[in-house]
Amino acid sequence: DQTTSEAVQITLTGSATDLDVNDTHTLTWDFGDGSQTVVGTQVQHTYPDNGSYTVTLTALDQDGGQATDSLLVTVNNTDPTIDSLAGDVEVFGGFEAQFNASASDAAGSHDPLTYTWDFGDGSDPVTGQNLTSTNHTYTQFGLMTVTLTVADDDGGQTQDTWFVTVKRPVVTDQFMFYNNTIYDGNGSQVSAIDANAIDTSKTALLPGETADTSNYSTCVSGINGIMIDVLGLADPSVLTIDDLELRVGNDNQTNSWSNAPQATLNLLQGAGENGTDRLVITWPDESITQTWLEVRLLANTNTKLQADHVFYFGNMIGEVTGDGFVSISDVFKIWNNRREPGIDTQVPVTNQYDLNQDGWVTITDVFLAWNNRAEQGIDAGLSMIQPPVENAPLVQSIEPVQVESRLAMALASMQGRYAMSLVQSDSPSYQLADISISDYLLEF
């Protein structure tokens, strides 16, 4: 008798003797598995499936005499083999992870294979015959071990594992945009066209950083639009304005800031950069001016963020010199950067001198700066804050830089001797009473 395994070739050897030494013999092998018989003294055979098989050898001489003998061949089952296992290595929670595999068995079609997928998160495994691909939606986060078990119908089985990291959503960027201006078609309705009104020269101030001119706008409408791009939101529709905390203030003690005016939240799915979901927060014009805005997207069951995402944008109408105050220097600088309709080309959304965001820098913008003066030593300017890192000691306010004495003297002189007023005739043209900007520049 012999013992072998599925798909393993065996060799069988036979011989026969006869009293008639002149007889020749034919040896015929029947392998007991339904396959064709084979003639020969030494033969090879492969059993495709496990089991016990009776091999019968028949010896026949030319006179019709015959004899038989047999032996038992036991064929053991062979475990299947997982040839490949692959799938996503990273996936955001709430999104489907895809997995696929292939396996083989020595018995081939004689042993159908059953695939059992355990996704490693405590959910019920998924089982099916020839289930070579599957998907799963994770609601937990972290590193998951996917275990694939492949079994044949004779009890043989094998396993392999795959690792997938289930990630939380992340904020990829945040922007300030000028809602209801020429850059978004003068429309207050939130839509994808609002992206044209993003001021790309402005970046969010993050905790631990010190503010500068790139973090605040100069326009008269104040902060009226913020966008947040988030990657990996499984169900953005559940988000509401309550998933945000919005506060305003002008010092480093951000935990004591007051609540911002009521805002409206709109969602533009897939409208953000690289297909991210875009949260659009808007306020009426002039709701938030001459101050800082803290935006906190909360880490909660709706956002599923790892931690609160916090950033800041500011506004100081007419402040174009970078000192946090609006003085005659800012007024002059806007005057010197005029871009008039019919004479010049329109300015882009990033132009800091276009205070009313109409695409031009005109005398109107000059007056807007003048009417929103915040003089150093007299008024409160926009503090160059350094908001604290979460759970870190607060940073003391930074004192504003003192303006040069010549400017202070010139400012006092102008305030004492002249009055600036707006005179409008039948046509939309403007002039200064008593003094021209150009004359004063020469004096200064």
pLDDT, tens only, 323-374? 999 999 999 999 999 999 999 999 999 999 999 999 999 999 999 999 999 9
- How do beta strands 291-297 and 142-151 pair? unpaired
Q: How far apart are alpha carbons 44 and 11 in whole angstroms?
A: 4
Identify the domain boundary among 167, 199, 227: 167
Classify 44 as helix, strand or coil: strand
Same domain, 136 and 234: no
In a domain, 258, yes or no: no
Same domain, 358 and 429: yes
For residues 32 and 140, membership in a common domain is answered with: no
> What's the pLDDT at 438?
37
Confidence of residue 235 (pLDDT cuts 50, 70, 90): very high
Q: Is the pLDDT of residue 434 over 70?
A: no
Which SS3 state, helix, strand or coil, does residue 332 take? Answer: helix
* Local confidence band at 295 (pLDDT 50, 70, 90 cut-offs): very high
Residue 108 falls within a domain, yes or no? Answer: yes
One domain for residues 423 and 362: yes
**pLDDT band at 89; cut points 50, 70, 90:** very high
Confidence tier at 394 by pLDDT (50, 70, 90): very low
- Given this model, what pLDDT does residue 436 score? 37
Residue 277 covered by a domain: yes
Q: Are residues 176 and 162 in the same domain?
A: no
Q: What was the pLDDT predicted at 443?
A: 32
Evaluate whether 376 touches 323 at the Cβ level (below 8 Å): yes
Query: Is the model's pLDDT at 382 over the cut of 80?
Result: yes
Least confident of 20-29, 67-76, 210-219: 20-29
Same domain, 282 and 375: yes
Q: Which of 94-103, 117-126, 320-329, 382-391 has the lowest mean pLDDT?
A: 382-391
SS3 (DSSP) at 166: strand
Q: What is the pLDDT of residue 391?
A: 56
User: For residue 49, is it within any domain?
Assistant: yes
Which of the listed residues 35, 59, 76 is the one where a domain comes to its end?
A: 76
Q: Does the residue 292 lie in any domain?
A: no
Same domain for 369 and 437? Answer: yes
pLDDT tens, 131-145? Answer: 999 999 999 999 999
Tens digit of pLDDT for each residue in 157-176? 999 999 999 999 999 999 99
For residue 131, the domain's CATH number is 2.60.40.10
Query: Is position 94 within any domain?
Result: yes
Residues 224, 196, single domain; the answer is yes
Question: Has residue 118 been placed in a domain?
Answer: yes
Kindly state whether residues 195 and 339 are assigned to the same domain: yes
Listed residues 131, 148, 167: the one ending a domain: 167
Q: How many domains does the chain have?
A: 3
Residue 154 has pLDDT above 60, yes or no: yes
The string of pLDDT tens digits covering residues 45-56 is 999 888 999 999
Is residue 144 located within the same domain as residue 95? yes
Q: Could you tell me the residue range of the domain that residue 358 belongs to?
A: 171-242+265-286+320-388+405-443
The answer to whether position 372 is within a domain reads yes
Work out the average pLDDT over 165-188. 94
- For the chain, the first-to-last Cα distance in angstroms comes to 116
Question: 220 and 333, same structural domain?
Answer: yes
Whether residue 411 has pLDDT greater than 70:
no
Task: Give the residue among 410, 192, 106, 169 at the shortest CA–CA distance from 299.
Answer: 169
**Are 79 and 91 a contacting pair, CB within 8 Å?**
no
Give the mean pLDDT of the chain.
Answer: 88
Rounded distance, CA 419 to CA 407, Å?
18
Same domain for 26 and 12?
yes
pLDDT, one tens digit per residue, over 190-231 is 999 999 999 999 999 999 999 999 999 999 999 999 999 999
Please tell me which residue, 384 or 438, carries the higher pLDDT value. Answer: 384
The pLDDT of residue 444 is 28
